[in-house]
Structure 1
């Protein structure tokens, strides 16, 4: 008897939910507004201590407040909410990235004025976590302690974003922080990147990485949620052709963007050429992070330092 043909994994029926987390002032809201291309997507005049978790979905005109009993009501504003009885808010936005994934914004884990239950209640609803850590004191022991208590399902497909790179004094400091965090966070995250949140090129790179991550996810561990499902339809696949060409650039501290010259030889030149032609977003996200390191390696004639990390051997998948 012949074995039945194995079918490929079915595409998810809803968009993946990416929970953005981190300590207070780690740049979570700034990153989200950058991904959405809207500096006012999340209220800028509401302090972090007064804003409950916000679930951002694509399209529509929803602005809902959901209480701890699961009852939703429409709201004109997110200001002045009773945080003791608010589970989360749902806000629709037309940003292109929300065609590929939902975003769940959470309060800072180290905020003494915000009970940890406020963000911990969102963990069962998430499919993956993007942890933000401030470059000036990146990946502190307090962050590591919180991460080790994360549900096992959310320690898969985990992304660490080192934010506020523009606050470091020079490129040497940027490289030093990236090397240390890559080393220390390797057992905990599948990918690590560093970004200046005032640099559109950096934010766009993070967005491409997250679109690639969401497109590869077939197992969505987040709990079913009828309200969110009614607002958030199936994800759109990442485009495979005809995408806009990408100009390889170097980001300097302070947000300055400098075009990268075309290398004269080797793998760096090949990667540069691929990025400079029309290429799909998934391919661009896979090679963009390597270009600057490879070019600098040619300049220095030294071994390349990795810019991305993979889970160490023996870690749970």
Structure 2
């Protein structure tokens, strides 16, 4: 399976979003829409996913617990499902202090991602709201969660992934992978915890355009770019092309891993994704092909 991420526009115009979705249409199984990343307001993930469906592409709607209380989560998911959106990626969300001032309230976190996963699973499987009222037509959902192989010591991260799977997560979308050996060790731990037979794994990748960008990305929690890759970018006559080659090598290095697909997070460089999919041979791994 192949998916790609698109950040909704900081605008009321959908033209650029539809253009990107159309460009990716013949290359991916689904397009994933972020939900106010870096605590910065954008077009809603729900609206973006609905526009994606109208363009004939399967959407994955992200929903951040940061921006919703329990009433809002239940309402948003019912509305999304009524529009035909069934894939939901549950995130806690970047902290509000990362966003532009004036900041949102920082002392209100009604739910985290694990609690939201449990809530949506219960709505789907048991047909009840959190307050015990019956849902006459329960939502049909495929529930996902983020996983971060490098966020903390692996044994602690596996505990968190286990909580998400126990709550009802059916697929994991990983943070960016730049060390295939470390990722393999993480997968081995998931296997020992019995999770590989319970959830689908989508490995996250993205090309880096420069050594400077790599250094900035290395400050993001959960992202670890080896120094040797930064040196490659630094010494390359064409850093952008070097970044492309690094991603192709990473995908090749994971081809025999027990994962279910690749998720591209191109961060404003969505135009490179079709090339990456074609040259990596991933187009033949799309569902239905």
| TM-score, length basis structure 2 | 0.34
| TM-score, length basis structure 1 | 0.31
Give the structure with higher Rg (CA): 1
More helix by share: 2
